[in-house]
Structures are given as structure tokens and as C-alpha cells.
Amino acid sequence: MPYDARLLGGIGVLAAVVEAGSFVGAARALGLTQPGISRAVARLETRIGVRLLDRTTRAVSLTHEGRRFYEQVMPLLAGIADAARLAGGSSTLVRGRLRVNMDPFFSRLLVAEQIGAFLDRYPEVSLEMLAREEVGDLVAEGFDVAVRFGVPRPSSLVARKLLETRILTVAAPAYLARQDRPRHPSELSGHACIQFRDPLTAQPFAWEFHRGREIVPVATHGRLLVSDVGTMLGACVAGVGIAQVMELGVRPLLADGRLVELFPDWPGETFPLYALHPSRHLPAAKVRAFVDFTLEILDAPAARAGAPARAQ
């Protein structure tokens, strides 16, 4: 297909519709009329030869072909925007709407109390921060960046490791008063262990213990399965059972005696925190600013109390 400037314009309109979730929202964002938006999308579909959007009276969504097309062209649009910023000398301007897909536990633990400082530093940024259990589709949902625990699945997303935090096995004094304290990870098979649901598989996370090159998998059992870290910590503090938790954020519970670390001589297992963004090109200044701010939060004394290891 020969180059057609109208094709690029139609792609921009499609991106606005997907981001706004409606023709009305896209028209408002682009300063056009709703019929104008509809005609632009229809012309784009005609040029490409495939239907890109399913339209109902209440919602607009990408078709299967539309989603594939959108995922392919959005990095290219981002690259054009990056080139324009660089050519215009404005690649360091931090402004515009920033949509962040945030791990709920990390959001509550460290970000919520500090986010005001980010908004004060960048007064031209409008921040939309959504706590999600799963990453989902960053491109289709219009997210600029995500901050998530765990190793990312293979994808077109660009991943940057922010830290590694230790995994601790803990119990409350109330639980240990009822049960003999396990002296070795293998003894956990006879204890009530709080299971945490892996959002990718819907199955409980497997328990492992690392010491140097030694790795010991342990089959654990428990009648409580949770999908929220806060719920798991609350149940563990209440003496329901033994839990595996991230060191980041639980040091205060260990310091005041509400939780006890059971196997400090097995310190090797860690869990990473990543920043993810959709573009393989230079990320927007607002994305770089938010990632740098996240690293500042992790370096703060309150975060260091959890002893995370910064990724190099």
C-alpha cells in the first residue's frame, strides 16, 4: 500500500477512540464532531479492508483484527511522537495525561502517601493511577506504564527491573503458641499454610526455599486461599497460619513482634518489581519521570526498612 497521509490521520483517530472508549470521548479529545470521528474510522476500515471496531449503542470495542492492528501500529505512533519531541527539543517536558497500571499492594504500601510529591513536582501532569490485580493489555487499555511484581511474561512490552525483595516465611506468635515451631522448611507439610493465588494460573504459588545453590521445594497445604496481600498479612497476624510474604513492607510487623520470621537461614528466594511500558522506542518524558520517581520512593528510608535490593 503506498503511503497515504490520510491513513496516518485515521490511525490517530482510531487511537483516540480506543483510549476514550467512545466516539463522543474521542471527538471531545480531538476537537471534532462525533460524525466526523465515525467517518474517519469508517474510511480507515475501508482502506485497510477489515472491520476494526464493534459498535453498540453503549460501547465501542476492538475486533480481533482491530486489536492486532492496534497493537502493531501503536509502537510506531509512539516512535513518531518520540521523534517529534526530540526534533523539537521538548523530550524533557513532563506533561499530559499519564495512565499507570499499578500493583495494588505496592500502591497502598509506598505510592499512595508519596504521590502528592510527584504531582507537585510536575504540575502539568494529570495522573490516572489504577490498581489492578493483573497487567491486562496495556496497549488496548491505553496505559502508559505499569508497575508490577513478578517476572513478566514474554511480550512486546519493555521491562525494567526496579528491585528484588526477599521472600520471608512468617507466622504470628499466636499460631506458634498452638503449634510446634517448624525448624526446617520440610516440616511445613504438617502446618496450616496460607495459600496465595497466582493471578496468571489461578493456582496457589508453589513454595520454595533457597540457600546458596540449594533449592528446596515444599508441598504445603492450607484451607485458606487468598488473592490479596493485605488479606494474607491480616490473616497471618491473626494466627490463622503460616505465610510467605515479601520483605518489602513487613519489617514493621517483624520489629514489633506481630510476626516472626521462621527460616532466616534460608535467605535466597527473592521476588522482583518491574516497570513495563508498551513502546520499544524512547519512552515519553512523563513515563521516565514516573519510573524515576518510583525508584526514589524505593530508596526512601521507609522503603529501605523493608530491605529491598535495588536492581542494577
Same domain as 291, residue 153: yes
Q: Tell me what pLDDT residue 210 has.
A: 94
Same domain as 265, residue 223: yes
Q: Which triple of cell numbers denotes residue 265?
A: 537461614
Q: Is the pLDDT of residue 310 over 70?
A: no
Same domain as 16, residue 69: yes
Lowest mean pLDDT among 2-6, 46-50, 132-136, 302-306: 302-306
Same domain as 301, residue 229: no
Domain end point (choices 44, 65, 87): 87
Same domain as 266, residue 178: yes
CATH code where residue 226 lies: 3.40.190.290
Same domain as 134, residue 74: no
Same domain as 234, residue 211: yes
**Banded pLDDT at 140 (limits 50, 70, 90):** confident
61 phi/psi in degrees, rounded to 5? -140, 155
Domain end point (choices 34, 55, 87): 87
Lowest mean pLDDT among 78-92, 150-164, 293-307: 78-92
Lowest mean pLDDT among 36-40, 67-71, 80-84, 131-135: 80-84
Q: How many domains does the chain have?
A: 3
8-state DSSP, 185 = G
Same domain as 192, residue 267: yes
Same domain as 142, residue 104: yes
Please write the tens of the pLDDT for every residue from 178-232. Answer: 999 999 999 998 999 999 998 778 889 999 999 999 999 999 999 999 998 889 9
C-alpha to C-alpha distance for 50 and 65, rounded to whole angstroms? 7
Q: Tell me what pLDDT residue 308 has.
A: 42
Cα separations in angstroms, 243 against 14, 186, 217, 235, 256: 47, 15, 15, 9, 18
**Across 263-292, average pLDDT:** 86
Domain end point (choices 65, 87, 109): 87
Q: Is the pLDDT of residue 156 over 70?
A: yes
Same domain as 277, residue 156: yes
By residue range, what is the domain housing residue 16? Answer: 5-87
Q: Is the pLDDT of residue 4 over 70?
A: no
CATH code where residue 69 lies: 1.10.10.10
Q: Tell me what pLDDT residue 79 has.
A: 67
Of the two residues 168 and 298, the one the predictor is more confident about is: 168
Q: Is the pLDDT of residue 91 over 70?
A: no
Helix, strand and coil content of the chain, in percent to the nearest 5, comes to 40, 25, 35
Of the two residues 119 and 95, the one the predictor is more confident about is: 119
Q: Tell me what pLDDT residue 82 has.
A: 62
Q: Which triple of cell numbers denotes residue 244?
A: 510467605
Q: Tell me what pLDDT residue 312 has.
A: 43
CATH code where residue 289 lies: 3.40.190.10
Alpha helices (H) in 129-213, listed in sequence order: 173-178
Q: Tell me what pLDDT residue 295 has.
A: 93
Q: Is the pLDDT of residue 59 over 80?
A: no
Q: What percent of the chain has pLDDT over 90?
A: 41
Q: Tell me what pLDDT residue 117 has.
A: 93
Q: Compute the half-sphere exposure of residue 167: CA atoms within 13 Å on the CB side of its CA.
A: 20
Same domain as 280, residue 154: yes
| pTM as predicted | 0.66
C-alpha to C-alpha distance for 139 and 247, rounded to whole angstroms? 32
Amino acid at 186: S
Same domain as 24, residue 156: no
